Structure 1
Amino acid sequence: MQPIDVKRIHSSFAAQSMMATFGAELLEVSEGHVRIKAPILPVALQQQGFGHAGLTFSLGDSAAGYAALTMLPLDFEVVTAEIKINLLAPAKGDHLIATGEVIKPGKRLCVVRSEVRAVKQGTETLIAVLQGTMVPVPA
């Protein structure tokens, strides 16, 4: 296993216009583990005033995908083949934090999971869990 190129993860993340639109930022990058934070902005609310499930899903998917990318050779990228989400609670709070991790790395498939928490006045609430499969592709 080669050392993680944290700069590569940050550069790839910066190229995602959707993450920029959501005001998302990388908090942590380590082997098989990534944390992303995003505010719950007015542009990402659903009809009842909670953070939209699309925001929750996007953050969870990106956290899981970047966790997989930390374990791939430098000449590879990653794409989502499939990912499932269980929404557990409304996205109420100031911001969301998505934590992604690799369950099983592989040359053809990486099995990943992530958890998304809403943070309100310092209290975290688990609002979603995701599990899926990432596919390594040539860069």
Structure 2
Amino acid sequence: MDFTPKDPDFEARVRASFARQPMMETLGATMTDVRPGTVTIVSTIPPGTLQQQGSTHAGLAFSIGDSAAGYAASSLLPTGNEIVTSEMKIHLLAPGRGERLVATGRVIRPGRRLTIVEADVWSEIAGARTLIAKLMGTMVPVPLVEPTT
């Protein structure tokens, strides 16, 4: 679906917001692609994100999927706004094993008060991808609050 951003500098704004999230740095996550209504985030699989069976913990897939979907929604907002998650559901489809996880978030339906989003999270081993999680949720635009630190 083609969307027209309300902010011509949406990519710089989205990337700057992502850079202010220490959690993403902790998870080894980087934002690799930003387009109107679509964002991709890639994460290494840090040893501290494994669960007891050696797969990635669902929290890693959820975190990068939620952020990818949220920033996809944020890409369509006017200047001076950000997005927060109101609700997010995850379907875990396969164990997360491999070299990295790739989450692509997309806007399904933008709105003035609510934006419906989804994200797919893939694990990669030697370039081969396995879909490990599917997320769907609702994002809410909020006024930008500048960090105080």
TM bracket (short chain): over 0.9
Residue in 1 that maps onto 2:119 = 114
Q: Which string of whole-angstrom CA distances, capped at 9 and with x for unpartnered residues, describes residues 63-92 of structure 1?
A: 000000000111111000000000000001
Structure 1 outlier segments of 4+, above 4 Å: none
Residue correspondences, number:
139
Q: Does 1:16 align with 2:21?
A: yes
Residue in 2 that maps onto 1:53 = 58
Partner Cα distance (1:85, 1:37) in 2: 18
Letter in 1 for 2:32: L
Residue in 2 that maps onto 1:44 = 49
TM-score normalised per structure 1:
0.98
Quote how far apart the aligned CAs of 1:114 are. Answer: 0.3
Give the alignment partner of residue 79 of structure 2, picking from 63, 74, 79: 74
Q: Which string of whole-angstrom CA distances, capped at 9 and with x for unpartnered residues, describes residues 22-78 of structure 1?
A: 110011000000000001110100001101100000010000000000001111110
% identical equivalent positions: 54
Q: Is the 8 A contact 2:88 2:136 kept in 1?
A: yes
Q: Does 1:87 align with 2:92?
A: yes
Give the alignment partner of residue 62 of structure 1, picking from 58, 67, 82: 67
Aligned-pair Cα RMSD in Å: 0.8
SS at match of 2:65: helix
Residue in 2 that maps onto 1:125 = 130
Q: Does 1:138 align with 2:143?
A: yes
Letter in 1 for 2:66: D
Gaps of 5+ in 2: 1-5, 145-149
